[in-house]
Chain A
């Protein structure tokens, strides 16, 4: 049994052909939009600044009358909810584009509303998007690690530990060597070490993978916290003052409004994040290796019969996942801030886990889910700057609530690899 919805769970009663969850969820969302965005819409103009003054190419700001947008969005959402209701009643499945349109409209309506009610209803769209991507980088690496492990049938709760160990190793190695790139390598290596324990205990000693993952997170947290307050604090000049990674700006392309900075003005960690998403997606779904990996995760017995070494495949994939997550951990100390502090990953590994499930165990899905979490976090920062009445705690809760709705199947069924969490013992 793996993380998230298990289709064959005996407790599940929803064996009927028609699933009304989505239309009901859509309906609730539409009503919420009607009451909050439309009826409760402020009579202000929400301004989204597309360009900053320093930009080479300037585009006009987007100014939206908040209550008008609120009404338009609410009515459109109601229309989609009714449409999906009719589709289900006809026995069809819900059009995929209807779901995507619904999500986009809801976000637009929410943003306009939340900016509209602020004290200074004007935010920089470019800054919002760029900040979201930056905050999402470790989440994306973390969830890619999860994809690599879970696709092969090993549940990886230890993402948090892998990120944290990566952050620690990057800080120490980069400080000692004076090179941030050495730090990157060390981060990947530290992630592999955490993975090695996960792999040995779950594959060789058949210990429950969730248990090992949870315990590894505690172990890494304790170990790095211990070393941080002994070695690192004693001589922070030697051990905890890593050089940061420089931003590599690609001329001209980086000047494209909004998407320029997020695609063409990143550190090497940011660029490799895009590369990793694409390479892992291609690898999993377009190569022989990927087919084998997925076979091991779905039906290890069959894979074994075909001559695939199940446990070896699992072992190497878990190590690879550790390298990816460790690499992402380097973001914390080489890009985000320039020193290691205890527990600095602050539960991001668990968010990465949620992004993985939200993204349905697909690298590209996980990428967008992580972006959503990064967006929610960044929106909180942005809104606290422009002054809003919405308590920041509720904005902070939002991604977690959305994740619960997602795993409860309101956002569509996500099916984990069938053999996830089950050790393979050759008969």
Chain B
């Protein structure tokens, strides 16, 4: 990161640290992602990392209780609970731990595979699933930082996949060039779907939450309609499915053909770094954060709030559009109406868990990718429905958003001055204003 930034960027960073026009506002802990190293130290010191870990643990425990409560063996054993309570507890433990073991096996490491490489195959699956989550999560997070609540990642993923897919199967370009066009088209498609709420918010004040929710539905019906038209539908098929993308238009598999992990993951890493740089080291990023922290003060300081809203929503949409590219050119290689799965909605929880910090989003995306990849395995092996993953994920986000609650549950005393209100306020400013 040193060479890329250069002295100029350092200067801007210094400007960030001491902003003359808006004293204090940009520096609020979760919103202002100041220096990374210092930030991590500070967050450990103030206990927010501890809260995050405890929140995850607590959510997994609650999920385990839910699994145990609905398990058939537990129900059978509980009929004679009072004569042999141990049986019930044992069955409960077996149900919950079995489900989570299967989840781990599907997400990280499978000791029963044939070769060492294949043992780590679940891990590559996790990263494959994490790729669209990270990209779309970054899209949601960027908008958060500018004070906008982008619920529209789902629609933006669909538009990105639609644009990218169309270039992928209807244009026939040489190797390399084709993929570049596919990626660009995906970004543009998502950016277009982000532009609409951005410009409406800026010009008319229409709230982005409503507009993006509506655009999600419009995108679903739009792709559904296009897949019935001759230019999108696979010739000879009556199903709403597109032709396969050209071999030149798909992401190469970076670990060889037996792993699905594709180039999109490297793009996700690059995008994470890019967003981090943009937010924390560039003038545009500074302006966006200023708009997010206090639009009135930002306007007084000469920052165009209108432009900020439009730019950030296009960027957010473009990042989600890249998630669509990862889906259509990486994992699926064909455009269907279900191309976005539920990544757009999961991306919101990913961004919340990552506290809208690019690297936080990255690791949150990997964690949720693991849940999702492992959840499939868990459902096959133990019959525990994958919905438990949604429960655990949403509990994690809820608990992380309310540190005082987690601390109360674990009995951690607030030793320092009672700063419940200010901490909670900071939580609020982490999201939409």
Q: Which of B218-226, B257-265, B276-284, B317-325 contacts A (4 or more CB under 8 A)?
A: B218-226
Query: In chain B between 98 and 153, which residues have their CB closer than 8 angstroms to a CB of chain A?
Result: 149, 151
Q: What separation, in Å, do the CA atoms of A357 and B213 have in the docked complex?
A: 13
Contacts between the two chains (Cβ within 8 Å), count = 188
Min C-beta distance of A228 to chain B, whole Å: 8
**Closest A residue to B388 using CB positions:** A226
Whether A212 is near chain B, meaning CB under 8 Å from some CB there, is yes
Closest 8 CB pairs of A and B: A222-B390, A225-B387, A206-B424, A393-B225, A219-B394, A226-B387, A208-B431, A205-B402
Min C-beta distance of B376 to chain A, whole Å: 14
Q: Are B205 and A397 in contact (CB under 8 A)?
A: no
Min C-beta distance of A206 to chain B, whole Å: 4
- A-B pairs with beta carbons under 8 Å apart, 24 shown: A4-B207, A11-B201, A11-B205, A11-B295, A11-B306, A12-B202, A14-B203, A21-B204, A197-B398, A205-B401, A206-B425, A206-B427, A210-B209, A211-B352, A211-B431, A218-B349, A219-B395, A222-B393, A226-B390, A397-B221, A400-B218, A401-B218, A404-B214, A409-B204
Residues in A whose Cβ lies below 8 Å from that of B203: 11-14
Q: What separation, in Å, do the CA atoms of A192 and B361 have in the docked complex?
A: 33
Given contacts A205-B424, A214-B349, A219-B391, 12 further A-B pairs with CB under 8 A are A10-B299, A11-B309, A157-B209, A215-B352, A215-B398, A219-B398, A225-B385, A230-B384, A393-B225, A404-B214, A407-B211, A409-B204
Q: What separation, in Å, do the CA atoms of A218 and B430 have in the docked complex?
A: 20
Q: Are A208 and B432 in contact (CB under 8 A)?
A: yes
Whether A262 is near chain B, meaning CB under 8 Å from some CB there, is no
Q: What separation, in Å, do the CA atoms of A391 and B223 have in the docked complex?
A: 12
Partner of B305, one of A11, A231, A350, A353: A11
Min C-beta distance of B381 to chain A, whole Å: 15
Residues in A whose Cβ lies below 8 Å from that of B201: 9, 11
Total residues of chain B contacting the partner, CB 8 A: 64
Min C-beta distance of B396 to chain A, whole Å: 9
Whether B206 is near chain A, meaning CB under 8 Å from some CB there, is yes
Residues in A whose Cβ lies below 8 Å from that of B218: 397, 400-401
Interface residues on A, range: 35 or more
Whether B189 is near chain A, meaning CB under 8 Å from some CB there, is no
Given the known interface contacts A218-B390, A397-B218, the answer about A12 and B299 at a Cβ–Cβ threshold of 8 Å is no
Query: In chain A between 184 and 222, which residues have their CB closer than 8 angstroms to a CB of chain B?
Result: 197, 201, 205-208, 210-212, 214-216, 218-219, 221-222
Whether B45 is near chain A, meaning CB under 8 Å from some CB there, is no
Query: In chain B between 26 and 51, which residues have their CB closer than 8 angstroms to a CB of chain A?
Result: none
Residues in A whose Cβ lies below 8 Å from that of B390: 218-219, 221-222, 225-226
Q: Are A6 and B205 in contact (CB under 8 A)?
A: yes
Whether B364 is near chain A, meaning CB under 8 Å from some CB there, is no
Min C-beta distance of B35 to chain A, whole Å: 25
Whether B217 is near chain A, meaning CB under 8 Å from some CB there, is yes
Q: Are B432 and A229 in contact (CB under 8 A)?
A: no
Q: Are B431 and A407 in contact (CB under 8 A)?
A: no
Q: Are A231 and B70 in contact (CB under 8 A)?
A: yes
Residues in A whose Cβ lies below 8 Å from that of B401: 201, 205, 207-208, 211-212, 215
